[in-house]
């Protein structure tokens, strides 16, 4: 536990769970998409479904996807900023099964039509957990420098990625592999000691069976 867990993060908005945590979910979505958003659909579950307007969760998620941090005053006007930037957005409510009460479904596309679907939880004190990326159940907190790879579930892929990281002298602090089904899509979540160079994402994406790679700088 650190100071942020006790007093909460520095932020714009009334609630660490409904504002700061939501911004962080948006930040992670932006980093995974690794492009300017063009069309955003947000679906609020549980307590979010009745409070998202009053607590500014709608402004927080759009601001987060645009790259604003939790203490950025532009969050208050993020919806207007999005409109002026040509970003379309909409909000809905949804009921998810066996989900945390502060859960959000985010569907986002870039200008080229590349799409991404993320389910995230705001679990208190500005902390989050990403529970799903596209069709794969994952567990990602965003607290640590992280490499995410989306790949086909085939023998040798994990070894190839690990060898590239070793060659680049990147130490793996923690690695977990998630897959939607045997032989289907899979996602590696690799927490590292230090943020890897952005060029590494291109190197990893060029490996056999890797579909895309994202690098996330950790922290709140």
pLDDT tens digits for range 158-206: 999 999 999 999 999 999 999 988 999 999 999 999 888 888 989 999 9
pLDDT tens per residue, range 26-42: 999 999 999 999 999 99
Contact 213, 204 (CB under 8 A): yes
146-216 maps to CATH 3.30.70.260: yes
3-state DSSP call for residue 58? helix
Give the mean model confidence (pLDDT) for residues 105-120: 96
Q: What residue ranges of the chain are covered by domains with CATH 3.30.70.260?
A: 146-216
pLDDT tier at 124, thresholds 50, 70, 90: confident
Contact 57, 106 (CB under 8 A): no
Q: What is the pLDDT, as a whole number, of residue 3? A: 38
Closest CA to 105 of 26, 217, 17, 187: 26
pLDDT tens per residue, range 7-27: 344 444 445 556 889 999 999
C-alpha distance from residue 192 to each of 55, 72, 127, 199 (Å): 34, 27, 19, 16
Q: What residue ranges of the chain are covered by domains with CATH 3.30.1330.90?
A: 3-134
SS (HEC) of 145-171:
CEEEEEEECCCCHHHHHHHHHHHCCCC
The model's pTM: 0.87
The CATH number given to 3-134 is 3.30.1330.90
Q: What is the pLDDT, as a whole number, of residue 125? A: 82
Higher local confidence (pLDDT), 116 or 124 = 116
């Amino acid at each position: 536990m650190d100071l942020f867990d006790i007093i909460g993060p520095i932020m714009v908005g009334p609630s660490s769970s409904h504002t700061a945590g939501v911004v962080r979910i948006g930040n992670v979505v932006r980093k995974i998409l690794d492009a300017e958003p063009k069309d955003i659909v947000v679906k609020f579950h549980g307590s979010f479904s009745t409070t998202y307007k009053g607590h500014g969760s709608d402004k927080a998620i759009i601001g987060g996807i645009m790259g604003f941090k939790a203490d950025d005053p532009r969050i208050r006007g993020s919806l207007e900023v999005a409109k002026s930037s040509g970003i379309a957005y909409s909000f809905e409510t949804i009921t998810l099964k066996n989900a945390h009460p502060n859960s959000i479904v985010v569907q986002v596309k870039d200008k080229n039509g590349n799409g991404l679907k993320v389910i995230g939880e705001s679990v208190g004190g500005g902390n989050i957990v990403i529970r799903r990326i596209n069709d794969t159940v994952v567990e990602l907190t965003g607290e640590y420098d992280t490499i995410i790879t989306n790949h086909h579930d085939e023998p040798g892929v994990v070894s190839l990625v690990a060898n590239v990281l070793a060659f680049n002298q990147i130490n793996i602090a923690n690695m977990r592999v998630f897959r939607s089904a045997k032989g289907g899509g899979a996602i590696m979540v690799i927490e590292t000691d230090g943020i890897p160079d952005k060029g590494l994402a291109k190197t990893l994406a060029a490996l056999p069976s890797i579909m895309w790679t994202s690098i996330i700088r950790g922290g709140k």
